[in-house]
Amino acid sequence: MNNQGIPKISKQKTPIISLQMLVFLILILAVFALFTFLTPDFCFLKIENLNNILTDAVIPAIFALGMGIIIAGGGIDLSLGHIASMVAIIVTYLMSRGIEFNLALPILVGLVTAAGIGAVSGLLVSRLGISSLIVTLGMMFLIIGIRQIITGGQSIYINNEAFKRIAINEFGISNLVIILMIVGVLCYLTMERSIFGRKIQFVGANIKASRFMGIDVKNITMYTFILGAVLAAFGGILFAARAGAVQINSVDSNLLGALCIAVFSSVLFGRFKTSGIILVAILISMIGMGMSMMGIKTEWINFMKGLILFFSILMAKFMNFNT
């Protein structure tokens, strides 16, 4: 057999921890050390504070997982925050109606609504060839209008104790963190360990090649929007359980955090990586917590997130990791 001309495939063993992850862990440790020394009395190190940081990271992380899936498929969704707000309102509204609902039904209704919205955006993007930026911008305003109709613009307080229990601290660590772990494992299995997830990443990386490969490009693109919307809606429901009251726009601003985390992670790791997204979420929640402990006003945290976005693109430019 003449094997000339065919490049040898070197059988390198993949290291347990990649270079990117190593750099990132060092970054997290550096930020951690920085804030430990900057906050008064080392109060950053207190166990309640660390717990808070983890709990704060949960909801942005779930949003970012949704955004990350959409970005991995080559789209963008500006309406994620609004979808989440709307679902949070639908769920709490159904609960506040007081009919003997068990928890599952309102949550199911909410998630199905989100899936429907995601399917509509996905259909428009994949079947009509409209840029996802435009579609989701339009969708955002549709949602702003529709959710106003549901409650007439009023905020809803949650009386259902069982629902609030989702977000309390039962086993020494907040239930939210456990939920994030479950969601993370599910995400990891679908996106990184299944053919479906590989297809999504392939479509995002090279849509022409994937079309020639026989991948159903249109449906895969649509599924990313559905998955993203459902994850965001789930984040919105967790937010409602944690806050105990929902306004019609209370989750909107999570869009920035989600985008920031998802872009940062996909720049750093070059592809969708569940552990990466969760770790970046923890990093950002750490920075936010540290800044507020240092007495910096909350409005600068938004500014900081913008800076992190800049920084992440800068990294993509100058630290071309060979993924």
Fill in the DSSP letter of residue 13.
P
Query: To the nearest whole angstrom, how small is the minimum distance from the Cβ of residue 261 to another protein?
Result: 13
Residue 151 or 275 with smaller CB distance to another protein: 151
CA–CA distance, 197 with 200 (Å, rounded to integer): 5
Query: To the nearest whole angstrom, how small is the minimum distance from the Cβ of residue 308 to another protein?
Result: 8
Query: To the nearest whole angstrom, how small is the minimum distance from the Cβ of residue 77 to another protein?
Result: 10
Residue 13 or 297 with smaller CB distance to another protein: 297
Q: Is 4 left (phi over 0), alpha (psi -120 to 50) or beta?
A: beta
Residue 53 or 262 with smaller CB distance to another protein: 262
CA–CA distance, 38 with 1 (Å, rounded to integer): 66
Residue 11 or 317 with smaller CB distance to another protein: 317
Residue 27 or 304 with smaller CB distance to another protein: 304
Residue 166 or 316 with smaller CB distance to another protein: 316
Query: To the nearest whole angstrom, how small is the minimum distance from the Cβ of residue 130 to another protein?
Result: 5
Which residues of the shown chain bind another protein in the complex (CB under 8 A)?
A: 71, 74-76, 124-135, 137-142, 144-146, 148-149, 153, 204, 207, 217-218, 221, 256, 259, 263, 266-267, 270, 297, 299-307, 309-310, 313-314, 316-317, 320, 322-323
Instruction: Give me the residue label for tokens 């993007």.
Output: 125
Helix (H, G, I), strand (E, B) or coil at 31: helix
CA–CA distance, 226 with 231 (Å, rounded to integer): 9
Query: To the nearest whole angstrom, how small is the minimum distance from the Cβ of residue 108 to another protein?
Result: 25
**Non-local CB neighbours of 122 within 8 Å, separated by 6+ positions:** 221, 222, 223, 224, 225, 226
Burial of 59 (0-12, 13-18, 19+ CB in 10 A): buried
> 254-269 vs 274-293: helix axis angle to the nearest 10?
130
- Asked if residues 182 and 121 have their Cβ atoms less than 8 Å apart, the reply is no
Query: To the nearest whole angstrom, how small is the minimum distance from the Cβ of residue 161 to another protein?
Result: 32
